[in-house]
């Protein structure tokens, strides 16, 4: 039997009591009725409660919740309210009605450090790219709960997490904040992360809605994309993340989509999000992304960081509109209801955050588990795992003696006491201080030393290539640590490793055939030296215990199970856009002040919904490393595929660990062809933990939207009936099992 909450029970009884001849009408007492009506529990659902609360608000109070400030005193003109916590944002509440202020902090990887302005540290999860590489929603739920718990313990009730833009360009400076290039994979993982955050009693966002696929000129970027292409790719990632995670808020983006700014885009906010998907929460703007009061009519519910915009549009201008235009008046009520609904649903009214001590050791262990599952072994010519036999190991470069790299910008997290090192990356202007690479206090060198019992471990910082090569030549094994720093607001100029690190790796690999390269990058890089290396490990930005996680993988203490959530291209001409649009012509500074009056059109219909590996499949291009790729220290065998069709498509198969050590495999199922022709599309995945010799049966049922096409004239999904072929295996390019099934035609509402 479904268990009823107390308030639901009271309401149900009330409803029964209203039926003229019901027994309940005789049973329920007038006292119970009075209690039910006056108690805050009277309205059982968040919608009902929000509606009742909104009805009690004065016009002034209704203005309060719809705009907030960036809660950082460094922004000129900012007056910090006495109860504000330095962080991303503050929206005043309505104390008279028990509505608390919204206290907002970034972001998806933990409670952000805001350049030390709050002077308290937090636990850094690995980058979202690494989290994407885990392919493990349960783990991300745990990670979300951990960072949500820290946000709450610091007094915040909103965490601006849930970055779910698809990786359309490997150079996008925020790729480290996103899960990958596939909508199903990103949607499932983001949904899980959001569920975790909100389980801690904190509202989470998903962001940046939508098609914010490059940072270069993000304020003047106009993402041009057809309706079907968007629905089948970037929007589908949001749709799935929202269905699964039920985030309290959706953050719209800086860029325009098909001509209209995301935050005043009625097609995106009103039609797609609110009407088609029935989204009940609120849309908050990105900071400095609102350009007029009309955004309210298009579907924006809250102006964030309003002092960054030209005007506090949702202040006096909205008030004026509300006084003269019923459409605005109706919207203001709806805006308030939506915000209140999310506050109630996430429990921030009934159970407000209480400042509390944080168990950083325990939380770092969560970050470590995520890192363990998201580090990807890209190549291994037998050198890994390192065995106790090596007498000497040369560790080279990448600040491996200091810590592990993290990505910059609003999502930057640092530990208690501050980061291990802050390296200024150069730049001018008021935001130049943000251009600093932070290293977390988890040095790989110490972690390697702790495990390399009996071996001499030497460190060379890699500044001088010839010297590093000589150090490598004298050792049994050389481990080169290479870094690519990325930051919000800037794309990387190219996919080479900066500061001559490609030459360093080349020389070290030349000097020592047992060269292992450990990459800490935001996303894909080119590897001109690949063939000369013995092994390559992609560690992304591995978070608070990254150094330990890297060493654990190198020494086989952890069997790598990460799989690429993005395609690593072999060259620029394989990409839909070999050069970053606007790179050579526009002002690339953080705030892009020199771009006033300019517009940067980017045509995403080149690839359309064929993002990443789908583009490579369409073009017949062979990448450097395919989507879904990742090696293990054991072997897996796939067998016994059984497919069934009908209303959707279900694949059943077995995965066997045929090797000698325990390990985890990510079983992936792809659509290969259907009545529309050939394609490649992830339709499901499962991470399976197997002891040596063990087999498990995996069942994957495709979400029918993944077999369908978006039908613009009919405004819905159209699934053509016919034969569908799928492939199953351990990577998008390694599908040992294939089969076909007949699927019935159907249409699916948007």
Task: Indicate which residues carry an active-site annotation.
Answer: 286
CB of 409 to ligand BGC, least distance (A): 7
Rounded CA separation 357/86 (Å): 18
**Nearer Cβ to ligand BGC (7/410):** 410
Which conformational region is residue 250 in: left (phi greater than 0), alpha (psi within -120 to 50 degrees), or beta? beta
- To 5 degrees, how large is the angle CA 64–CA 488–CA 419? 95
Tell me which residues touch ligand BGC (CB under 6 A).
88, 106-107, 160, 207, 286-287, 410
Q: Specify the residue, 291 or 337, whose C-beta has the smaller distance to ligand BGC.
A: 291
Taking the complex as a whole, how short is the minimal distance between the CB of residue 433 and ligand BGC, in angstroms?
15
Between CA 399 and CA 423 the distance in angstroms is 10
Compare residues 177 and 239 and give the one whose CB is closer to ligand BGC: 177
**Nearest distance from residue 88's CB to ligand BGC, in Å?**
4
Q: How far is the CB of 507 from ligand BGC (least distance, A)?
A: 39
Concatenated DSSP letters of 206-248: EEEETT----TTTTTEEEE--HHHHHTTHHHHHHHHHHHH--S
CB nearer ligand BGC, residue 592 or residue 630:
592
> Cβ 71 to ligand BGC, closest distance in Å?
10
Residue among 643, 665, 748, 654 at smallest CA distance from 695: 654
Q: CB-wise, 88 or 197, nearer to ligand BGC? A: 88
The nearest distance, CB 306 to ligand BGC, in angstroms, is 12
Which two tokens mark 564?
């690429």
| Cα-based torsion angle of the residue sequence 142, 147, 153, 154 in order, rounded to the nearest 10 degrees | 180
Evaluate whether 486 touches 395 at the Cβ level (below 8 Å).
no
| Nearest residue to 255 (alpha-carbon basis) of 215, 284, 228 | 215
Given the complex with ligand BGC, which of 286 and 610 has the nearer CB atom? Answer: 286
Give the nearest distance from C-beta 237 to ligand BGC in angstroms.
16
CB of 450 to ligand BGC, least distance (A): 37
Which ranges of 346-464 does DSSP label H, i.e. alpha helix? 360-374, 444-451
Closer CB to ligand BGC, 107 or 349, in the complex: 107
Q: Select 90 or 313, whichever has its Cβ closest to ligand BGC.
A: 90
**Alpha helices (H) in 98-257, listed in sequence order:** 128-134, 137-153, 183-199, 227-231, 234-245
Exposed, middle or buried, 722 (CB in 10 Å: 0-12/13-18/19+)? middle
Euclidean distance between CA atoms 180 and 127, whole angstroms: 11
Which residues have C-beta within 8 Å of that of residue 577, sequence separation ≥ 6?
169, 602, 606
Cα diameter, the chain: 94
CB 234 within 8 Å of CB 210: yes
């Amino acid at each position: 039997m479904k268990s009823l909450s107390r308030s639901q029970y009271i309401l149900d009884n009330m409803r029964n009591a209203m039926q003229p001849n019901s027994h309940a009408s005789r049973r329920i007492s007038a006292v119970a009725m009075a209690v039910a009506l006056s108690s805050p529990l009277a309205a059982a659902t968040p919608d009902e409660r929000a509606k009742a609360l909104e009805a009690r608000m004065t016009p002034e109070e209704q203005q309060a919740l719809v705009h907030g400030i960036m809660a950082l005193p460094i922004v000129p003109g900012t007056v910090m309210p006495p109860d504000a916590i330095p962080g991303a944002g503050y929206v005043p509440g309505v104390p008279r009605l028990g509505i608390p202020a919204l206290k907002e902090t970034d972001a998806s990887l933990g409670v952000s450090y805001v350049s030390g302005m709050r002077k308290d540290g937090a636990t850094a999860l690995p980058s979202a790219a690494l989290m994407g590489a885990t392919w493990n929603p349960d783990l991300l739920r745990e990670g979300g709960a951990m960072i949500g718990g820290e946000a709450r313990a610091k007094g915040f009730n909103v965490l601006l997490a849930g970055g779910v833009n698809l990786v359309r360009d490997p150079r996008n400076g925020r790729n480290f904040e996103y899960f990958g290039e596939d909508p199903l994979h990103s949607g499932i993982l983001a949904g899980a992360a959001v569920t975790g955050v909100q389980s801690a009693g904190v509202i989470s966002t998903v962001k940046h809605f939508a098609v914010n696929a490059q940072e270069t000129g993000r304020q003047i970027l106009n993402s041009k994309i057809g309706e079907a292409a968007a629905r089948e790719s970037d929007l589908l990632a949001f749709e799935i993340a929202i269905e699964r995670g039920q985030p309290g808020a959706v953050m719209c983006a800086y860029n325009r989509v098909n001509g209209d700014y995301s935050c005043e885009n009625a097609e995106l906010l009103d039609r797609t999000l609110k009407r088609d998907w029935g989204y009940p929460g609120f849309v908050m703007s990105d900071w400095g992304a609102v350009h007029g009061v009309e955004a309210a009519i298009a579907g924006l519910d809250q102006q964030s960081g309003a002092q960054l915009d030209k005007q506090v549009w949702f202040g006096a201008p909205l008030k004026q509109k509300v006084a003269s235009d019923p459409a605005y008046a109706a919207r203001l009520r709806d805006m308030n209801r939506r915000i209140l609904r999310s506050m109630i649903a996430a429990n921030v009214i009934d159970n407000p955050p209480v400042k509390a001590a944080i168990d950083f050791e325990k939380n770092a262990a969560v970050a470590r588990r995520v890192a363990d599952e998201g580090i990807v072994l890209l190549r291994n010519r037998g050198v890994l795992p390192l065995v106790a036999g090596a007498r000497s190991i040369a560790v080279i470069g990448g600040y491996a003696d200091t810590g592990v790299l993290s990505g910059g910008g609003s999502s930057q997290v640092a530990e208690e006491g501050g980061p291990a090192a802050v390296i200024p990356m150069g730049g001018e202007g008021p935001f130049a201080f943000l251009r600093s690479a932070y290293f977390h206090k988890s040095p790989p060198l110490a972690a390697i030393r702790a495990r390399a019992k009996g071996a001499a471990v030497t460190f060379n910082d890699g500044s001088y290539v010839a010297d590093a090569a000589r150090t490598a030549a004298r050792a049994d094994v050389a481990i080169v640590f290479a870094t690519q720093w990325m930051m919000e607001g800037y794309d990387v100029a190219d996919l080479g490793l900066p500061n001559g690190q490609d030459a360093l790796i080349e020389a070290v690999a030349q000097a020592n055939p047992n060269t292992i390269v450990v990459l800490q990058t935001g996303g894909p890089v080119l590897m001109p030296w690949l063939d000369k290396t013995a092994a390559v490990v992609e560690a992304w930005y591995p978070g608070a215990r990254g150094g330990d996680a890297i060493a654990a993988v190198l020494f086989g203490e952890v069997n790598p199970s990460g799989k690429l959530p993005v395609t690593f291209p072999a060259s620029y001409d394989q990409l839909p856009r070999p050069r970053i649009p606007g790179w050579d012509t526009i002002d690339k500074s953080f705030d892009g002040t020199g771009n006033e009056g300019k517009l940067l059109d980017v045509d995403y219909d080149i690839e359309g919904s064929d993002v990443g590996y789908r583009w490579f499949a369409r073009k017949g291009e062979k990448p450097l490393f395919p989507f879904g790729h990742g090696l293990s220290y054991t072997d897996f065998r796939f067998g016994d595929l059984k497919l069934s069709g009908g209303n959707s498509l279900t694949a059943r198969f077995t995965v066997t660990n045929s090797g000698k050590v325990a390990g985890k495999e990510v079983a992936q199922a792809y659509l290969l062809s259907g009545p529309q022709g050939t394609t490649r599309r992830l339709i499901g995945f499962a991470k399976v933990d197997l002891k040596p010799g063990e087999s498990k049966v995996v069942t994957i049922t495709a979400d029918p939207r993944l077999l369908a096409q978006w039908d613009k004239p009919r405004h819905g999904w159209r699934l053509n009936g016919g034969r569908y072929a799928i492939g199953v295996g351990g990577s998008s390019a390694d599908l040992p099992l294939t089969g076909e099934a007949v699927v019935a035609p159907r249409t699916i509402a948007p």
